[in-house]
Copies of this chain bind each other. A is one copy, B any other.
Amino acid sequence: MSARDRAERIEEILRDRICLLDYPPGLRLSETELAEEFGISRTPLRRVLARLEGAHLLHSVHGVGTFVTDLADEELDQIYRLRIELAQLAGRLDPVAPSADLLAHFRQLAQRAAALVPDPDTPRPFAQLIMDFIQAQSRLSANQPLMEITQHLYFQTARIWVHSLFTSALDLSEELAVFAQEVADVVSALEAGDLDAAASIHRTHISLSYRRMLARRDSAQA
């Protein structure tokens, strides 16, 4: 395996751990421990960490540590407003009709969502399902820069959203049901061959889930 491939693999592993909340926001990581775990020295590991820092998923402080990024309310708001617009764009810009395999994969995601039982202590299955859904959606447009940006913004916000959902522990089953409904609606639109409708559904759900998060935030402050 080439050095480049190994670095990409480690970067993907760490990104997954951050996005799936194995590494919650604010956690301090140890370069030495990570280097030992992957069987490499700190030098190539630090290259990976530098890239994740460029993606706003980590930030290092000299003499203190390397921390998983958290998002302030205002930053989260701005990204959500942007994601709402980008979701709509995905249906207009270089749409690609899903293959039979991809459609089957979407149906499987809908089944997973319907079968998922909420557990306030293990956010990972829910986060994993959301990540898989996003990755599947990224195959609905051939515009790679747009999909890359969309995923990038998802990496930043989805984990914060899930984290706030599981820490407040309110409406967990309701949010899960809403998400399952979204996946089912998107599958219906895809089966009808209407990619723009699928994008609109996605946009609507981002907007609504954002509003519900705002409501949770307000009730928490009150």
| Residues of A that sit less than 8 Å from B by CB | 2-4, 43, 46-47, 50-51, 53-55, 62, 75, 78-79, 81-82, 85, 89, 92-94, 142-146, 149, 153
Contact = CB atoms under 8 A, between A and B. Distances in A.
B47 A78 contact: no
A82 B93 contact: yes
Given A2-B62, A85-B92, 16 more contacts: A3-B62, A43-B43, A47-B47, A50-B54, A54-B55, A75-B144, A75-B145, A78-B142, A78-B144, A78-B145, A79-B145, A81-B94, A82-B143, A82-B145, A82-B146, A85-B89
A62 B4 contact: yes
In terms of DSSP, what is the predominant structure of the interface of chain A?
Answer: helix
A105 B144 CA distance: 35
Nearest to A55: B54
19 contacts: A43-B43, A46-B47, A47-B50, A51-B51, A51-B53, A51-B54, A54-B54, A78-B144, A78-B145, A78-B146, A81-B93, A81-B94, A81-B143, A82-B143, A82-B145, A82-B146, A85-B89, A85-B92, A145-B153
Number of copies: 2
A85 B81 contact: no
Contact of A50 (B50, B62, B75, B78): B50
Contacts of A145: 75, 78-79, 82, 153
Contacts of A143: 78, 81-82
A43 B41 CA distance: 14
A78 B148 CA distance: 12
Contacts of A142: 78
A5 to B, nearest CB: 11
Q: Which 9 A/B pairs are nearest by Cβ-Cβ distance?
A: A54-B54, A51-B54, A50-B50, A47-B50, A78-B143, A79-B145, A82-B146, A82-B145, A85-B89
